[in-house]
Amino acid sequence: MRARELADLSIDELTAKSGDLRHELFNAQVKRSTGQLENTAKLKLLRRDIARVATLLHERRGAVK
């Protein structure tokens, strides 16, 4: 997911996106542990997307001074 795409989302949409990404990461980790995950690079991409969303949420909630 591109940062530009995330920048257009509201706080509620970002929160929902974060939950979706975390759920998808969990499922990918389970698949990896059972040997069913073919694209292991997906784990890294999901972690980065989660970090992007968390950063935007942190900035928008006014925690950055």
* pLDDT tens for each residue of 28-63: 999 999 999 999 999 999 999 999 999 999 999 886
Bigger pLDDT: 55 vs 64: 55
Give residue 63's pLDDT: 66
Alpha carbons 50 and 11: distance in angstroms, whole number: 14
Alpha carbons 65 and 51: distance in angstroms, whole number: 19
CATH 3.40.50.720 fits 3-60, yes or no: no
What pTM was computed for the model? Answer: 0.87
